[in-house]
Amino acid sequence: MSSVDEDFMRLALDLAEQAALQDEVPVGAVIVADGKVVGRGFNQRESQRNPLCHAEISAIDGAAKELGHWRLSECTMYVTLEPCIMCVGAILQARVSRLVFGCLDAKAGAVESLYRLCEDRRLNHQLPAVGGVLADQAGTLLSEFFSRLRARKRESKIGERWPSG
């Protein structure tokens, strides 16, 4: 793991924190070409009411617009959480050259946890993936978000059972 990888992952973590502030699952992503951020995104499924609004998809869209083409073959993606099947599919279709992610996703991860799509030779593109970069920070952000969400749900159920007044 390089300090450059950590620096760009910190930018992705900043975006994940923005998602959390908007009550979105805190996942952030940046795409880098020649040392410059060309795409960025964070989860917006709730606010956009759209299952496609994952951080990775937003970052790919931004990078393609910034670079003026869909092939991101000279780009590295940094994302705080191991991407899901949909996002790995998009990363492969965009021909991203390298993937760096934070923590594993035991329930939906498609790079190491459940599937290993980045290295599947049956697909027409493979890419190197490095996991675990600032994984503790990314995992803590997710854990704290879901703890707050569970606490809010408990509080609202208590209010339903015992109305005030």
Residue 60: in which H helix or E strand, if any?
helix 55-67
Whether 56 is a known active-site residue: answer yes
pLDDT of residue 155: 79
Model confidence at 142, pLDDT cuts 50, 70, 90, reads very high
Q: What is the mean pLDDT of the chain?
A: 94
pLDDT for 164 beyond 60: no
Which one from 17, 24, 46, 56 is the annotated catalytic residue? 56
Q: For residue 26, give the DSSP letter.
A: -
pLDDT of residue 154: 81
Q: Contact 71/50 with Cβ under 8 angstroms?
A: no
pLDDT digits (tens, 9 = 90+) for 66-121: 999 999 999 999 999 999 999 999 999 999 999 999 999 999 999 999 999 999 99
pLDDT digits (tens, 9 = 90+) for 121-141: 999 999 999 999 999 999 999
With a CB cutoff of 8 Å and minimum separation 6, the contacts of 8 are 30, 32, 37, 76, 78, 100
Provide the token pair at 153: 């749900």
- The closest alpha carbon to 143, from 113, 110, 114, 105, belongs to 105
